[in-house]
Amino acid sequence: MGSFKVTILLLWVLFTSCSQKLEFKVEAKTLSLPSEREIEAKLKILNKPALKTIKSEDGDIIDCVDIYKQPAFDHPALKDHTIQKIPDFLLEWQNSSSSQVFQTWQKSGSCPEGTIPIRRIRKEDLLRAGSLDLFGRKPPIHFMNSTNTINSNSHKANGSNAYVPENRSKSSLITVGYNYIGAEANINVWNPRVDLPNDFTTAQIWLKAGNGPQFFQSVEVGWMVNPKLYGDRATRLFAYWTTDSYKSTGCFDVTCSGFVHTGQVALGSAITPISTPYGTQYEINVGIFWDQSGNWWFRVGHNNPVGYWPAKLFKPDGLSHSATSVEWGGQVYSPMVKKRPHTRTAMGSGDSIDSRWGTGCFMRNLRIKDYSQQLKYPESVSTRAEEEYCYNVFNEAKYGQEPTLFFGGPGQAPPYCP
């Protein structure tokens, strides 16, 4: 594996003479691209043999893979894993069918019983990642001084908020204070602009457990536009997990081993149809729920389990028994957030949230589940936008109604977001 890693060699030479101080800085950078053989080997690990192949009209290839031969079983902790076919909280639903098409590939066919749909990874996908080790992963979080950021709010200038994550900008609603064993929401689906080749933009739910911004475990689901990962600008259903704050574990979808796929929804596949301004608003319901066996299930559309992250992936002090925070909202990843000129990558619908219904990205039916097993609206919530003039968030509460969360924005839009 060593030769496909990006090797950055920094060599500092300091030379001091008696009369003057000279400083030589030699920076040598070698970037070794993966060889043909390494790419073939990686593709063989990622793409398991298909019992049936479906060509989607959007260009995706969906492989129907034997459920017992899926990538999850490559994970060292899952060698002898017994697949749980259905979460215990859904047992009463096991006979109800959910045939509503919401992924483009489903127009072209379905996978036979005993197989699961997996979006095929191609050579180009690996090449875009720059390195095979980085494929399918979010970059680790680094923090920058908040004074360097544009529009940083003064009240965030100290305390733990002084740590501003670099290259990421989030606008969300958060609830903390309980042990959460599930969360869900309906999100309306948009196709926000993505500007720079490494940028991505999400609308999602996070369930996290851990200590502070640098040590947490997280499971995440929602929709995303991510040209670097998927090769186009379509809005796609995604899932993500990490057990070490994005440092070295986890990935999107099934681009690494870990997620056990059981349902007929393909991770990373395009969602259809998309909402239009003042037109029909299309929503997807997504949720993550812990069940008695300790697995975290990803569920779409109330009764459609996609699969789960097995208990064995998580550390005993963290997500193995509950989450300590839940967040709903959007995130833009870009080297040009919190900087000028700001990226033009949008969040949500791409519209500022001022207009709300009709053109805004919203989430409703926000629910959490705690040990009482009841689904409920979270007790105490707060909203936070890291760059409110670029991507804002607002929890609109009308009298007598449950609040609706609006979030998003266009990114760069002078003079507010220069």
Ligand X SMILES: *[C@@H]1O[C@H](CO)[C@@H](O)[C@H](O)[C@H]1NC(C)=O
Q: Does 158 bind ligand X (CB under 6 A)?
A: yes
Asked if residues 258 and 286 have their Cβ atoms less than 8 Å apart, the reply is no
Among 44, 55, 107, 142, binds ligand X (CB under 6 A): 142
Asked if 330 and 347 count as a contact pair (C-beta separation under 8 A), the reply is yes
Sheet of 168-180: strand order equals 251-252, 236-242, 215-225, 200-211, 323-333, 168-180, 382-385
Region of residue 246 (left: phi > 0; alpha: psi -120 to 50; beta: else): left
DSSP H or E segment with residue 307 = strand 304-309
**Smallest gap, in angstroms, from Cβ of residue 347 to ligand X?**
18
Q: Which of 56, 106, 149, 167 binds ligand X (CB under 6 A)?
A: 167
Is residue 145 involved in binding ligand X (CB under 6 A)?
A: yes
User: Is 359 a residue that touches ligand X (CB under 6 A)?
Assistant: no
Tell me whether strands 115-119 and 61-66 are parallel, antiparallel or unpaired.
antiparallel
* Of 169, 124, 131, nearest in space to 150 by CA: 169
Q: Compare residues 19 and 160 and give the one whose CB is closer to ligand X.
A: 160
**What is the pattern of x (binds ligand X, CB under 6 A) and - over residues 53-92?**
---------------------------------------x
Interacting residue with ligand X among 16, 95, 97, 372 (CB under 6 A) = 95
Q: Verify binding: residue 212, ligand X, rule CB under 6 A.
A: no
- The answer to whether residue 242 forms part of the interface with ligand X (CB under 6 A) is no
Q: Is 154 in the site for ligand X (CB under 6 A)?
A: no
Q: How many binding residues for ligand X (CB under 6 A)?
A: 13
Binding range to ligand X, per CB under 6 A, among 20-28, 136-144, 260-268, 294-302:
136-144
Q: Residues 182-201 vs ligand X: string with x where CB under 6 A?
A: ----------------x---
Give residues 8-37 in contact with ligand X (rule: CB under 6 A): none
- 56 - beta bridge partners? none
What stretch of H or E contains 80? none
User: Measured in Å, how far apart are the chain's first and last C-alpha atoms?
Assistant: 42
Structure token pair of residue 315: 């550390």
Report the nearest approach of ligand X to the CB of residue 104 (Å): 30
Instruction: Return the number of the residue (70 or 167) whose C-beta is nearest ligand X.
Output: 167
58 to 55, 62, 200, 349: CA distances (angstroms)? 8, 11, 20, 22
Of 145 and 293, which CB lies nearer to ligand X in the complex structure?
145
- What does the buried/exposed string (b/e) look like for 219-250 if buried means 16 or more CB atoms within 10 Å of the residue's CB? bbbbbbbbbbbbeeebbbbbbbbbbbbbeeeb
Is 159 among the residues that bind ligand X (CB under 6 A)? yes
Task: Tell me if 139 contacts ligand X by CB under 6 A.
Answer: yes
Q: With contacts defined by CB under 6 A, name the span among 102-110, 137-145, 255-263, 314-322 that binds ligand X.
A: 137-145
Q: Which of 112, 273, 277, 335 binds ligand X (CB under 6 A)?
A: 335
Rounded CA-CA distance 207/298 in Å is 11
* Binding stretches for ligand X (CB under 6 A): 92, 94-95, 139, 142, 144-145, 158-159, 166-167, 198, 335
